[in-house]
Structure 1
Amino acid sequence: MTTEPTHLPLPLESDWLDWVGARGEQQLALARSLVEGLRSDPPKEPVEVLRVWNDAQTALSNAASVGSLFSEVHPDEAVRERAEAVAQQVQKLDTDLGLDTGLYAVLAGLDASGLDADASRVLERTLRDFRRSGVDQDEPTRDRLRELGERAILLSQEFSKNIREDVRSIKVTPDRLAGLPQDWVDAHPVGDDGLVTVTTDYPDVVPFRTFAHDAAARRDLVTQFLTIAWPANDRVLQEIFAVRREHAALLGYASWADYDAEVKMIGSGKAIGEFVDRITELSTASAERDKAVLLERLRQDRPDATDIDGADTSYYAELVRKEQLAVDAQQVRTYFPFESVRQGLLDVTGRLFGLEWTPVAREDARTWHEEVATYDVSFEGERIGRIHLDLHPREGKYKHAAQFDLARGVAGTQLAEGVLVCNFNRGLMEHDEVVTLFHEFGHLVHHVLAGRTEWVRFSGVATEWDFVEAPSQMLEEWAWDADVLATFARNADGETIPADLVRAMRRADDFGKGYDARTQMFYAALSYDFHVHETDDLTARLRELMERYSVFPYLSGTHMQCHFGHLDGYSSAYYTYMWSLVIAKDMFSAFDHGDLFDPEVAGAYRDKVLAQGGRRDAADLVEDFLGRPYTFDAYAAWLAE
């Protein structure tokens, strides 16, 4: 075993194709060999059985990381396809193991009386996984579950690929770029046809929908953005939902939401609907108040307007913040050049958590693209992980923002390696993008700090899935603090972002939080409803749910469900983002808002929450940190401000 980082090929080398296949096959073969040993000749001591199982799960995780990461980020399509094949093999083996009655008998027969708390938890969670896989079902049912598992991974890959490869665009005359930042205009030259191409990738669509004065052009681009992967993914989604419905029914659950929620903090599908309705009620007054402000501002330009939709909300929210709240996003972005933000983020998190980020030379890191930046991570003088930052868009790359595993850390076996995959501008960043970068980096910090456990089961972001966003949402708070931003936010003249501007930014950010919450509840209701109620027309049902939960109307001709990637990864649990935010606001209340770097509080949070990974239930981790159970109080107070 080694604690050295993963040895990758050099960028653009043909070795990548062979390496991805070989790495996946090697780790899968190791997992199979270890499992076969457990079946045929298991160790006599229960803890040793669990350690062999741990090694097998580590190998399976390594193969899974290769498949999930490189199918989304490698610039070579052939490598992406090879990684997809690895992911399919991983899913097949994982399904087979979960339905293996002989293997289950070995683990179920262990005497847990002599195990420590961590080992006992590993055993309990492993046996629960077997039950949820259907190992105790009859043979025909197990065979069908196996078929469903294999079909599920193919559908997931097709869904993701359709989103990744369907980059849409509009073409406009240069005069229709009025209102956009000059650096953005300079980066979009006029083509031979006299037109400028604007794509649906985030570095194009976000500034365009926020700043472009031309309402028709905004509407055209937003419509294209909200029809990515239509109609292909409408069919794929119907198949995904059908597979999940059948899977849950075979295991005796009323719905996929009930099956999925069983292992989350929320506990049941019914509780999801109740939570969505509770947040909807809490946020309605604020949502309607702020929407009225948007509509009033829209009517200054269009006196006959009766409502405002997704083609206009970002633009008019920006105007309200600029004209009424004295915050000009185009002025704000001048303080956030990408390179400074990236280094500032490393400095802030290093100081906060006692971490050291050491750049690794490209020839030593051997990444998959020349723009990927690599850092070794040290804590108290010891290297505890490695991170890779892949932060700019390119053809064929994952279109959203997420943290991927390259290796889950296991003490004495392998270093934690994480990859941050985003799609930011290479020049000036919107402050919203800065907040997103802090958020996603929170997952990376969690992955590394919790990567020093003996058990891969608890390594990294291994808590209940409706808690995983809470640490990232809390780290966003540091991107709103004037003293923190002053450490890295400077314009081209070297001037530090003024504290009064940051205070104004915070006030402006409060504008719209109610209708943002209602929008989030629309997304949550969508993900829940699609998994509970069968519908022939997903777009029609989307419109019904949007009318009930969002305060904004449906934008005609759009089908946003087709590129709503969370319908795959989070399935029925998109409520997770708001559930986690409730907890994040409560955890943040423990910090001194006048000194966000207080080492005692930050150290307690690092050690009691982040470094624990999945060793304890999330509610217990939070209670240990706060000294009490979490409540809605801090969230409700924030929403009411």
Structure 2
Amino acid sequence: MSNPLQDLPLLPSFDRLDPEHVPAAIDAHLEACRARLQTGLYEPGWDTTLSPLDEAHDRLSRAFSPVSHLNSVLSGPWRAPYEAALAKITDYWTELGQNRELYEVYRLLADSPEFSQWPQARRKSIELGLRDFRLGGVALEGEERAQFAANSRRLSELSSTFANNVLDATNAWSYRTEDEAELSGLPDTALAAARAAAESRGESGWMITLDGPSYLAAMTHADNRELRQMVHQAFVSRASDQGTDAGRFDNTPVMTEILALRARQAQLLGFENYADLSLASKMAENSSTVLEFLHNLARRARPAAEREFAQLQAFASTELGLDQLQPWDIAWAAEKLKRDRYAVSQEELRPYFPFPRVLSGLFAVVARLFGVTVEADPSVAVWHPDVQFFWLKRDGDKLAGFYLDPFAREKKRGGAWMDTVTTRRQGSDGLQLPVAYLVCNFSPPAGGKPALLTHYEVTTLFHEFGHGLHHMLTKVDVSPVSGINGVAWDAVELPSQFLENWCWEPEAIEMISGHYDTGEPLPEVLLEKMLAAKNFQSAMFTVRQLEFALFDFRLHSLEQSPSAEEIQALLDEVRREVAVVPVSPLNRFQNSFSHIFAGGYAAGYYSYKWAEVLSADAFSLFEENGIFDQETGGHFLQTILEQGGSRDALELFTEFRGRGPEIDALLRHSGIES
């Protein structure tokens, strides 16, 4: 029987994939990559070395992509083969990054007289390749060279371990009750989900879990303060030495080893610290630029955040009988204050944002902005009944495709993300279309109703689709700079945050909303309340993001690796500087901070705010010209989405906006005075 990870059609054969397919396929692709490399080195050149090697790498990527993806969305039997394959692939990329013969091919091409006449995408891919060789340790010798390679493999293992511990700790905790009165305050949607969670585990009653929708519902709506405290403390102590599962999935030693190895890698490459190494591939010039940016935002936002929290505390004291707000009271009290001030809640809005309506409205928004249509293709094999596949088209021609996996379930990684199935590239078999995974964790349909989204979840869907458009609408055919490839990490959030803006525009809201039962549009009075409440506690949210960003960047700016106690002390120090809300003594946020310990945001979490400046400023041009102005939409498509990583992010932004980025639009959109 053929191996679908070796046959490699454009779309993975999810109906045939089995964990047993992984070892043989990955070994075969790695062998092919190494053979292509050796052959190519005999006759150095773009067409003879780099293009054939890129084709082999593309096949390796297309084989590993579904394995990595299934480990994230199904876990279970995919974890062991994923980790074994990841170790082999990490070894290969480390080996390749230190291959001096291949490095010399890049140098030869960059120094050739014809180089300046090459297409922009090819030139950029060579420039980035040379940078990555330097960052991959190509200049290292002897013991340092071997140590760098060993560290790279260990870091890959630790990153996977960190993510597994967070997932396992999240899945391990639940609270079941037979007494519905304990869940007083939870809306019908949350109660139905709790009932379904219990039934899925063969239990009666209602079950609260640490999955995003369940946790947020409990923290925002449960009137039972003891329940909120229990759920909150279980959540903030995940994967740590605290809480009910103390030590069972503890990420403390994982975290400290990751930081030690990152610091050592930076030193081996001649950087003072890991933050400096990280910035070598980002827009921001240096560490001072990043810290100045974050502190400047904090200076502007914290006074407003303090006022917001003082108002919340006063309201809680006079109206809710809470003289002292505890961490598990914040979201609950905030929801009460929001209802009191604006007479609107996310739960009131839910019936007007049924998932099918939001999805079709999102596609309509994108069609008006960028002239593309989206069509479902039920014939494509998927990994779960909730998943759908779509084609992105223009004038009837396929441009790209994407899988959408929208709902939370057990053994699925939390959060929301976009990932790559295939990359647009010109190969020996012709043009390969880009395909993406779009993954969210919304509350699934329950109680005979479709999935009803909060407005926050609507913006999440738009955010991930923005990432998807960046990947799918590229016109670049050179894979190292096609789509999101080669884009500076602190600019990669630009298209995603940019698209969120349409969730707040009345003309677009009309397209994405409609009562699940009657189809009636969102009433004008609710719309006005929702828009009035847009910046409710936005300064508190801003300083929370700044807390994460400053902690991450300062942590990776340390020259010596910190102990667990020093990590906690640094986080406490950052909180004293920017935070305004109380923190539970059991809080070990760092132990589940997957963005920086299991994702690509190490010394880069600041990117969310950095890119938000770009996205708000970009959207301000639509505010000036009309939110569906076709010329402006076409200009954004051509200068940002189609260019991928073929040109510097700042250069592309400046071409779109006609000037460099300015922070004013972000402050205005956030309701924070300039």
Match of 1:183 in 2: 189
Normalised by the length of structure 1, the TM-score is 0.93
Secondary structure of 1:419's aligned partner: strand
Match of 2:265 in 1: 247
Match of 2:469 in 1: 445
Q: Is 2:532 the partner of 1:507?
A: yes
What is the CA–CA distance in structure 1 between the aligned matches of 2:642 and 2:13, rounded to whole Å?
Answer: 27
CA contact (8 A) 2:302 2:578 kept: no
User: Which of 608, 611, 620 pairs up with 1:577?
Assistant: 608
Which ranges in structure 1 are unaligned for 5 or more consecutive residues? none
1:341-367 per-position Cα deviation (integer Å, ceiling 9, x unaligned): 222222222332211211111xx3111
What is the CA–CA distance in structure 2 between the aligned matches of 1:617 and 1:4, rounded to whole Å?
Answer: 33
1:174-207 per-position Cα deviation (integer Å, ceiling 9, x unaligned): 2121111113213323789985320000120112
1:73-118 per-position Cα deviation (integer Å, ceiling 9, x unaligned): 235x222321222222211110000011222223222343313132
Match of 1:277 in 2: 295
Q: Is 2:481 the partner of 1:458?
A: yes
Secondary structure of 2:533's aligned partner: helix
CA contact (8 A) 1:375 1:387 kept: yes
Aligned CA distance change for structure 1 residues 606 and 27 (closer, same or farther; 3 Å):
farther
Q: Is 2:81 the partner of 1:82?
A: yes
Match of 2:663 in 1: 632
Match of 2:337 in 1: 320
1:40-97 per-position Cα deviation (integer Å, ceiling 9, x unaligned): x124x4565432343244334334524432221235x222321222222211110000
CA contact (8 A) 1:359 1:375 kept: yes
Normalised by the length of structure 2, the TM-score is 0.89
What is the CA–CA distance in structure 2 between the aligned matches of 1:129 and 1:36, rounded to whole Å?
Answer: 20
What is the CA–CA distance in structure 1 between the aligned matches of 2:142 and 2:43, rounded to whole Å?
Answer: 25
Give the 5 Å matches for 1:592-611: 592=623, 595-611=626-642
Q: Is 2:25 the partner of 1:8?
A: no
Secondary structure of 1:504's aligned partner: helix
Range with bigger deviation, 150-159 or 169-178: 169-178
What is the CA–CA distance in structure 2 between the aligned matches of 1:440 and 1:144, rounded to whole Å?
Answer: 37
User: Which of 382, 393, 406 pairs up with 1:378?
Assistant: 393
What is the CA–CA distance in structure 1 between the aligned matches of 2:46 and 2:376, rounded to whole Å?
Answer: 42
What is the CA–CA distance in structure 2 between the aligned matches of 1:176 and 1:228, rounded to whole Å?
Answer: 23
What is the CA–CA distance in structure 2 between the aligned matches of 1:562 and 1:125, rounded to whole Å?
Answer: 33
CA RMSD of aligned residues (A): 2.3
CA contact (8 A) 2:124 2:481 kept: no
Match of 1:335 in 2: 352
Q: Is 2:411 the partner of 1:396?
A: yes
Deviation at 1:331, TM superposition (A): 1.1
Secondary structure of 1:479's aligned partner: helix
Match of 1:99 in 2: 98
CA contact (8 A) 1:169 1:199 kept: yes
Give the 5 Å matches for 1:608-623: 608-623=639-654
What is the CA–CA distance in structure 2 between the aligned matches of 1:304 and 1:17, rounded to whole Å?
Answer: 53
CA contact (8 A) 1:372 1:389 kept: yes
CA contact (8 A) 1:24 1:62 kept: no
Match of 1:158 in 2: 161
Give the 5 Å matches for 1:111-510: 111-115=111-115, 116=118, 117-166=120-169, 167=171, 168-172=173-177, 173-189=179-195, 196-231=206-241, 232-301=250-319, 305-306=323-324, 308-361=325-378, 364-411=379-426, 412-426=430-444, 427-450=451-474, 452-462=475-485, 463-491=487-515, 492-510=517-535
What is the CA–CA distance in structure 1 between the aligned matches of 2:203 and 2:421, rounded to whole Å?
Answer: 44
Give the 5 Å matches for 1:523-542: 523-533=548-558, 534-536=561-563, 537=565, 538-542=567-571
Secondary structure of 1:357's aligned partner: strand
CA contact (8 A) 2:418 2:467 kept: yes
CA contact (8 A) 2:37 2:49 kept: no
CA contact (8 A) 1:50 1:123 kept: no
Aligned CA distance change for structure 1 residues 631 and 228 (closer, same or farther; 3 Å):
same
What is the CA–CA distance in structure 1 between the aligned matches of 2:521 and 2:167, rounded to whole Å?
Answer: 38
1:438-463 per-position Cα deviation (integer Å, ceiling 9, x unaligned): 1111111111012x422111112131
1:528-569 per-position Cα deviation (integer Å, ceiling 9, x unaligned): 122223432133432232222211122121211111111222
CA contact (8 A) 1:47 1:119 kept: no
Deviation at 1:519, TM superposition (A): 0.6
What is the CA–CA distance in structure 1 between the aligned matches of 2:234 and 2:226, rounded to whole Å?
Answer: 12
CA contact (8 A) 1:384 1:416 kept: yes
User: Which of 1, 16, 19 pairs up with 1:17?
Assistant: 19
Give the 5 Å matches for 1:62-77: 62-74=62-74, 77=76
Which ranges in structure 2 are unaligned for 5 or more consecutive residues? 1-5, 242-249, 445-450
CA contact (8 A) 2:495 2:615 kept: yes
What is the CA–CA distance in structure 1 between the aligned matches of 2:229 and 2:284, rounded to whole Å?
Answer: 38
CA contact (8 A) 2:438 2:468 kept: yes
